[in-house]
Amino acid sequence: MHVVFGANGRAGGETARALIERGEAVRVVLRRPEQGEKWTALGAEVAVASILDADAVVAALKGTSGAFLLNPTPISGDPHAHTQEVGTAFRRALQHAQIPKVVVLSSIGAQHASGTGVISTLNQIEALLDGMAPAVTFLRSGYFIETWSEVAGVVMAEGILPTFIEPTRAIPMVSTIDVGRAGAALLCESWIGKRVVELGGPDDFSADDVATAFAKVIGRPVKPMFVPPGERAAILTKEGIDDKLAEALLGMYEGIADGHFAREKGNEQRRGSVSLTASVERIVSTLPAA
């Protein structure tokens, strides 16, 4: 049996679904019991635990052969302090649970301890969890295509795609469906020691490419609109994001501009199969009807 943390989020949910589709036994770990009904209907076991509660995490890991772990970005506050709490709880739990195999969601660019904003928390989580099981894989994902759903409403209403990424810069992007499939595949593989697997989509994409995909899906022109660095903090403040978290998020885009969001030589490279257009179609399909 495999245990999946963060199953109500994008990557964790897709990993759990991919494992179920493979016919694997799955236990999902959720924060609240009322979140479990849909997973029970899919045939999964449900455990309720906070990832900050090492004892509850140990109980959730009990009797399993592999775990998918992740470090969710907090909704407020200092993400590095939050990561230290999460990583410490996972370390304690893994020391007691003695689970043989762990896949930890990370990010391309996590080889850098600084200069990447919120991505540097994944450098931190990798350091905290390295060696905590006989087999550990850090799955370094590209930029989630689904992140563009945050501006999809503007795209639909105004025909513009706001972007903090320079429109012609192509970077590793990937659908969370592919992240889930990769996470499930890794949990079903055998290895010993540490691996770093970097995952992108079928190709690297730019904001120009994303705008073109939106235009194709909605049937009308979409133009990318680059938001200069000096205007970004005010946008995040307007969205209710506090200063500490905003600083980390903005630092990620600075890191992308500086070329730090890049694959690391020597790591295993994989690519998903879900196209950019298919990913955008899924984003649009989830929007409220006009």
Q: Is residue 75 one of the residues assigned to a domain?
A: yes
Residue 102 lies in a domain: yes
Q: Using the Cα atoms of residue 260, residue 138, residue 55 and residue 95 in order, give the sign of their dihedral.
A: negative
Range with the poorest average pLDDT among 59-63, 138-142, 174-178, 201-205: 59-63
User: Which residue is associated with the tokens 């697997």?
Assistant: 197
Express each pLDDT in 104-150 by its tens digit: 999 999 999 999 999 999 999 999 999 999 999 999 999 999 999 99
Tell me the C-alpha distance between 176 and 181, whole Å. Answer: 8
100 domain residue, yes or no: yes
**pLDDT tens for residues 261-288?**
999 999 999 999 999 999 999 999 999 8
> Does residue 189 fall inside a structural domain?
yes
- Rounded Cα distance between 282 and 31, Å, is 26
Q: Which CATH number belongs to the domain containing residue 184 in this structure?
A: 3.40.50.720
Residue at 86 is within a domain: yes
Residue 249 main-chain phi, psi, to 5 deg: -65, -45
The pLDDT of residue 288: 85
Asked if residue 17 belongs to a domain, the reply is: yes
Structure tokens of 285? 């399909």
- The SS3 call for residue 5 is strand
pLDDT digits (tens, 9 = 90+) for 40-71: 999 999 999 999 999 999 999 999 999 999 99
9 within some domain: yes
Q: Write down the pLDDT at residue 14.
A: 98
Does the residue 290 lie in any domain? no
Do 111 and 123 touch, CB atoms closer than 8 A?
yes
10 Å CB burial of residue 196 (0-12, 13-18, 19+) is middle
Give the range of the structural domain holding residue 210, as residue numbers without chain letter.
Answer: 2-285
| Number of structural domains found in the chain | 1
